[in-house]
Structure 1
Amino acid sequence: MSPGAPRGPAEPAGPSAKSVRARTVRQASIALGAGAAAAVYLWHTDPHQPGQLLLPCPFKWATGLLCPLCGGTRMAYDLMHGDVVRAFHDNAALLTLAGPAVAYAVGRWLVAGIGGRVYRPRLPARGNAVVLGIAAVWMIARNLVG
């Protein structure tokens, strides 16, 4: 084999910056539209009142226990109506931990995508353990307290 000869098949080129940018804008637009439609519906639908047409939590339905995400719809409704205290009461962990984490991840994805780069978030094993541990402790605590 000569020194200048390729050693294996050529690596495929990744997506172009233009296609990454276009895909990011398209996906962000779809997500923004769906989120806006859901927010408009939720604005007029008080989840604190019984009989609303909202999806019930399947975990609570099956077990009778609150999952770590239970109260998220009520929390979003309360935040949209400016009641931060009630939103905190609905799901404190989701409001204080998950909200900022999701905002950070979405922001990184948008900045990278608009810049033409693919963003692949990675959570190491310790990160997964921390997230699952917090979720388990939160679920146990809120079900014991009532």
Structure 2
Amino acid sequence: MSDRNSYGDSGPRRDDPQSHGPGAALVPVRSPRGVHAVTRQVEHGRPRLRDAAMTTAGAREAGGAGIVRRAAGHPAAAPLGALAAALAGSLVLYGTDPHQPGHWLPRCPFNWATGLLCPVCGATRMAYDLLHADPVRAFHDNALLLLCTPFLLVVAGRWAAAGLRGRRWRPVLGARASYAVGAVLVAWAVLRNLR
């Protein structure tokens, strides 16, 4: 064996199989996917690397942490997590009437601090009314948000579809559109508090 190891650097290696005697040894190897155990074996005087994830011990060492890390980084993780949170919130909201006093749902911080309605005040009541198939009452709770709901559902659907295809999708809103959305929200907040 030459004085250069299989990674191209010179000098003795502490994980050289010849220093361990005949057979194989598990050694940590850094790869683009992280640190994992690799079995070094000697065949005809040359080292051969075999990924230990193929063995039972390697599978246990690589274990669930890598799977969870890969799943959390998948483009579908965020939209599916948001969908799960929305479904769980809907189940809780279905049985809790925010129109009745004494409910445990949190109050809007802006409304609590100023006594004024913010652009999304009434969203919880609107969602409750929609869950109970009462669109007229939902319209009275927050008309602007109810009118924007189909657009928001399309955006959420495109986000989820792109994630399931393995792509990351972020809606791009230009400067003019951002100013227009901001102006509509401010105008809606003013109009809500004048009536």
Is 1:115 the equivalent of 2:184?
A: no
Mapping of 1:22-33 within 5 angstroms?
23-33=74-84
Q: Partner of 1:100 in structure 2?
A: 150
CA-CA distance at 1:136 after TM superposition: 0.7
Query: Which residue number in structure 1 is paired with residue 5 of structure 2?
Result: none
Larger Rg, first or second structure (1 or 2): 2
TM-score (norm 2): 0.60
Identify the residue that residue 77 of structure 1 maps to in structure 2.
128
Flag the structure with more relative contact order, 1 or 2, with Cα contacts below 8 A and sequence separation at least 6: 1
Q: Could you tell me how far apart the structure 2 residues matched to 1:36 and 1:107 are?
A: 15
Count, aligned residues: 125
Q: Give the 3-state SS of the residue equivalent to 1:24 in structure 2.
A: coil
Instruction: Report matched runs for 1:128-139 at 5 Å.
Output: 128-139=178-189
Q: Is residue 2:106 matched to residue 1:55?
A: yes
Pick aligned residue for 1:125 from 175, 187, 192: 175
- Which residue of structure 2 aligns with residue 142 of structure 1? 192
The Cα shift of 1:28 comes to 3.2
Higher strand share: 2
Secondary structure at the counterpart of residue 23 of structure 1: coil
Residue matched to 2:9: none
Instruction: Give the 4+ runs in structure 1 shifted more than 4 A.
Output: none
Deviation at 1:120, TM superposition (A): 2.0
The alignment's TM-score, normalised by the length of structure 1, stands at 0.79
Secondary structure at 2:177 match in 1: helix
1-structure distance, mates of 2:168, 2:137: 38
What are structure 1's unaligned runs of at least 5 residues? 1-18
Instruction: Please say if residues 129 and 138 of structure 2, whose CA atoms lie closer than 8 Å, have aligned partners that are also in contact.
Output: yes
Q: Which has the higher helix share?
A: 1
Whole-angstrom CA distance in 2 between matches of 1:33 and 1:116: 19
